[in-house]
Structure 1
Amino acid sequence: MITKRVLNPGRIRKIGKGFSFIPHRFLTGGFLAALNQTEILLYLFLVVAADRYGLSFYSYDAICNLLKLTLDQYVQSKDGLIKKDLIAFDGTIFQVLELPNSPPVENQPVKPSPLEALVGQMLKEV
């Protein structure tokens, strides 16, 4: 069994006036596994940017610029986090929410439509 010890006592993390922490249950409760990479990136950004109530008001262009996301990636990630009940957004202000009781469903790969599958099969044969 590994005995834990503080590696740098002068740098022990404290939660001050900000909100910047992530509960351990985010990892162990399946929340991290349920997110894609851009959702994780946006969620971590919103946690770091939030005040003690989980609120922040960065604009989409500032977020896209800082995180190097396209507008589509931003919109899909924001919508995914809202759907998974991890954040709220009123068009201006974000709120990182307390983790819900049950973890969100993991992102499912998008299945191609029958037409896309047919075209894919035809291209393989050519």
Structure 2
Amino acid sequence: MIEKKPLCPNRVRKITSSFAFIEHRFLRDGFFSSLCHHELLLYIFLVMAGDRKGLSYYSFDKICILLGIYVDEYIVARDMLIEKDLIAFDGRLFQVLSLPEKPIILPENPVKTREEMEEYDPATIHQLIDRRFGKNHKNIYGGKKHGTGEDTLSA
């Protein structure tokens, strides 16, 4: 058995004021592995932003800027977290919920045709926008251009 002793005893974490937590079950019971990258990113953010009841009220544009994601990526991640029963959202207020008994694995509904890709796939929609307006089009919500440090408001 591995002896668990702090590697840096002078830097052991302490709860000194407000804090966020994620149950060990999140990792052990498969919730972590059931989420895609953007779902994990948004979930962890909402856990950190929430109060003791899991409530937070960041706007979608602020969340997108802080996480460096597009609005369509945010919407898909938010909706999937709702469907997987991990968060509630009323249009203004988020609540990180207590974990359900087990992860909810949704059936995949892959898009099959080009028309479905252009209508439902966020990456394809984004590529179409890039082709139409150019890769350096401004993010209408302000902040940084996706994947760059460049401020869109001054570009």
Q: Is the alpha carbon distance of 1:53 and 1:18 closer, same or farther for their aligned partners in structure 2, counting shifts above 3 Å?
A: farther
Shift of 1:68: 1.1
Contact 2:84 2:106 in 1 (8 A): no
Cα distance per residue 1:60-118 (max 9 Å; x no partner): 000001111111101000000011010111111111111111212167372525988xx
Shift of 1:51: 1.2
Is 1:83 the counterpart of 2:83 in the alignment? yes
Partner amino acid, structure 2, of 1:80? M
Contact 2:88 2:97 in 1 (8 A): yes
Partner of 1:42: 42
**Secondary structure at 1:22 match in 2:** coil
Q: How large is the RMSD of aligned CA atoms in angstroms?
A: 2.3
**Secondary structure at 2:31 match in 1:** coil
Contact 1:57 1:93 in 2 (8 A): yes
Moved over 6 A (4+): none
Distance in 1 of aligned mates of 2:88 and 2:57: 12
**Secondary structure at 2:100 match in 1:** coil
Distance in 2 of aligned mates of 1:85 and 1:56: 17
Partner amino acid, structure 2, of 1:105? I
Q: Is the alpha carbon distance of 1:23 and 1:101 closer, same or farther for their aligned partners in structure 2, counting shifts above 3 Å?
A: same
TM, length-normalised to structure 1: 0.80
Residue ranges of structure 1 left out of the alignment (5+ in a row): 117-126
Q: Is the alpha carbon distance of 1:5 and 1:46 closer, same or farther for their aligned partners in structure 2, counting shifts above 3 Å?
A: same
TM, length-normalised to structure 2: 0.66
Q: Is the alpha carbon distance of 1:114 and 1:46 closer, same or farther for their aligned partners in structure 2, counting shifts above 3 Å?
A: closer
Partner of 2:23: 23
User: Highest relative contact order (Cα 8 Å, sep 6+), 1 or 2?
Assistant: 1
> Aligned pair count?
116
